[in-house]
Structure 1
Amino acid sequence: MKILDAKIINTAHGLETYLDLIENSEIKEIHLPTTNNPSYEIQFGIKYFLLKNEKYYDSHKNYFYICMSSDFSSTTLKETHIESLFAVKNKEERETTKKLLGEWFIKTHTYKESINKLINKIKTENHCTEVDNQNKAEKIKFLKKLLELTAEDLEDASIERHVELHI
């Protein structure tokens, strides 16, 4: 029998229950710094269960970005435009969610495994050009930095709205 690591956040909408299961987390996209957006960005999706009125559970998947400056010296959390992990939460609930990400999520087996799987996938991709190989190396460097994040890095991070740049 396996004992699951879980956390619960009490919100105005019910109890959000987060489980450390690989199927409850996904990496949706990763972006390298550009002239228009000078940060590394990775979008995570987290599935959780919402216990409403202590009567029934409802499953949700919401998203957020972890962003790092190009020199990896600062970290920011960003909300997605839809299905944001921080949406419909008051200031206290947003801070509690940020604390959950720092004290629990980045320390879970799920977080580490999803990043390591992506690193391995990127390593096995065949690239033809020098630019492709540089992007591959940059993505791996960023992913390895994500494995070094601390609770303090995320607790000190601001929460901003993600700006989608259309080129």
Structure 2
Amino acid sequence: MMDLLNAKTIKTTHGLELYLDLVETIKIKELHIPTISNPYYEVKFEIDYFLLEEHKYYDLQQNYFSIVMSENFSSIMLKESEMQSLFGVKNEKERKATKQLLGEWLIKTSAYKEAIIQFLNEHEKHNTKGEENQYTKKLTTFLKKLLELKKMDIEQALIQRPVYS
């Protein structure tokens, strides 16, 4: 059953974007822990929403963004994906509204929390006999930090645009 009271809408030049707090609308697509060549934690989310266009029916959209954290978790950045970016084709006002959506609504939804918990449970299930290695410890710590994010963390985060060669 859809809980429309827990939905969020953003008005853009392309129509209304309707975001629902449903488990199937938020998925973790990639997760990286720090390495020598890339000293950051990063999780890439797929966000599904409905685009309601004037004089048309709705259209399901799938877009992506990443949350990037420094190795010591002291800084956070939002990162646009190269393709199907949640922030893509939006003007500055719409980008600001999308960032506000992430801070005020998304990180507080059950769907966001459930996506992280499911990923954590799946990883622990594949961990052989509970043996914790350095990778598993880092991954678990990062996922728990994602569950602790606050509105201010997102609001103060810079948005990194893709670099095209």
Give me the TM-score of the superposition, normalised by structure 1. Answer: 0.91
Question: Paired residue for 1:46?
Answer: 47
Distance 1:46 1:124, change over 3 A: same
Deviation of the 1:3 alpha carbon: 3.1
Structure 1 runs not aligned, ≥5 long: none
Deviation of the 1:126 alpha carbon: 3.0
1:74-153 → structure 2 map (5 Å cutoff) = 74-127=75-128, 133-153=133-153
C-alpha offsets along residues 6-61 of structure 1, whole Å, 9 cap, x if unaligned? 00000011000000001111100100111221110000000000011153211100
What is the alpha-carbon distance in structure 2 between the residues aligned to residue 10 and residue 2 of structure 1?
21
Question: Paired residue for 2:21?
Answer: 20
Contact 2:2 2:22 in 1 (8 A): no
What is the alpha-carbon distance in structure 1 between the residues aligned to residue 124 and residue 20 of structure 2?
29
What is the alpha-carbon distance in structure 1 between the residues aligned to residue 107 and residue 12 of structure 2?
21
What is the alpha-carbon distance in structure 1 between the residues aligned to residue 163 and residue 117 of structure 2?
27
SS in 1 for 2:133: helix
Question: Paired residue for 1:158?
Answer: 158
Identity %, equivalent residues: 54
C-alpha offsets along residues 64-119 of structure 1, whole Å, 9 cap, x if unaligned? 00011100011100000001000000111111100000100000000001101111
Q: How many residues align?
A: 162
Contact 1:15 1:51 in 2 (8 A): yes
Distance 1:162 1:146, change over 3 A: farther
Question: Paired residue for 1:3?
Answer: 3
Equivalent AA in structure 2 for residue 37 of structure 1: N
Equivalent AA in structure 1 for residue 146 of structure 2: L
RMSD of aligned Cα (Å): 1.9
Question: Paired residue for 2:64?
Answer: 63
Equivalent AA in structure 2 for residue 11 of structure 1: T
Deviation of the 1:161 alpha carbon: 2.4
What is the alpha-carbon distance in structure 1 between the residues aligned to residue 57 and residue 27 of structure 2?
25
Structure 2 runs not aligned, ≥5 long: none
